[in-house]
Structure 1
């Protein structure tokens, strides 16, 4: 089941490779082919998973602790540019912080709001709330690749990247059931984000949109 939905916006970003997104999406609903709902809850009980921890990169940054069955493969390469690498690092932490908020069932968790503001934070809050409403969380392996980052004259950064959700699913908290669904072109999502470095030196995501089934991301 695909967890990241379609959204009502379009954006053209000039990054290392320019990309236009239309009929796009953001972090605002659970993984679902139907976008609005989570299908099929079976009986059973979820066993608690031991958390994995992503230590804070520096003083003041939140510690990211996730269930052991929530894993990632970031294929983002070091650019050799300190600012661009910081953008990639903080974007990675935001992704993990959103899944931590889902696991904690807390739409206002401080960690993801540490790494996002504006419409990106609002979209993430809505996305997390839908998991809470369905009493579900994420599970499985999510892969991130085909990244492109550029620094703009206005102090912002543009980041485009792909997400492979083919091994990531929804897990229901009351039953322990994992909703495993077939892999389709919609399992591959392209994202475009705008980030700005705040007074604490953190690259916060201000805007994030996405599109499912993009040829840029499909194998």
Structure 2
């Protein structure tokens, strides 16, 4: 199946224990949403893979190191607004941090907890644990696009974006097997998150919901 559980959108396990993967752990609130509506934009053993290192390890931020076969295509454009650009940057780092926790099989990894709090962090922990339980991780390229950031009067930021999982899959650690499956509309996921700037100046994700197969994200 395509990578990344939508724990937000209900992490589905098949009878063969294949994971439906999804870029970031989150809380699922799908019961309150219509089919294509997300409420409010208010997630062989390889313990030491060849790392792909993020350049964001500065000012106390965790260093993001990922297996070389875990790649991204972020089509998020600079907005020209430094606050909105900071929101997008920290959201990107959270996505990568969750994948690093999966690769290192650590549901309590400090990196994703640096970029998330509350129900979003709890959702990520549950999401990562599913991979640990099945001795699996992500592999391939994930694309992010159709982003939108709205700064709210209460100091929060609402982030909406799409994820293309058509080139990303599950990889099982014991066998080294990659579970490549046909691409369906469910490979395209819409996410809605609420972020708030903490005392350290980091835009942490507080809530995250998703919907798999959304018409808004189809190619």
Which TM bucket (shorter chain)?
A: 0.7 to 0.9
Task: Tell me which residue corresponds to 2:82.
Answer: 82
Give the corresponding residue for 1:15.
Answer: none
Q: 2:57, 2:202 → 1: CA distance?
A: 11
Q: Please state if 1:9 is matched with 2:29.
A: yes
> Is residue 49–residue 69 contact of structure 1 (8 Å, CA) maintained in 2?
no
Secondary structure in structure 2 of the residue aligned to 1:105: coil
> How far is the alpha carbon of 1:146 from its aligned partner?
0.2
Contact map agreement 1:150 1:157 (CA 8 A) in 2 = yes
* Number of residue pairs aligned between Structure 1 and Structure 2: 192
Deviation string 1:13-69 (CA, Å, 9 cap, x unpaired) is: xxxxxx8327xxxx3xxxxxxxxxxxxxxxxx3576411100335310000000000
Superposed CA RMSD in Å reads 1.6
> 1:46 and 1:175 mapped to 2: Cα distance?
8
Normalising to structure 1: TM-score of the pair?
0.84
* Aligned equivalents of 2:134, 2:66: Cα separation in 1: 19
Matches within 5 A, 1:1-219: 1-2=1-2, 3-5=4-6, 6-7=9-10, 8-10=28-30, 20-21=37-38, 27=43, 45=44, 49-219=49-219
Structure 2: unaligned runs, 5 residues or longer: 11-27
Contact 1:136 1:171 in 2 (8 A): yes
* Structure 1 segments unaligned to the other structure (5+ residues): 13-18, 28-44
Q: TM-score, normalised by structure 2?
A: 0.84
Structure 1: 4+ residue segments shifted above 3 A: 45-49
- What is the CA–CA distance in structure 2 between the aligned matches of 1:57 and 1:90, rounded to whole Å? 12
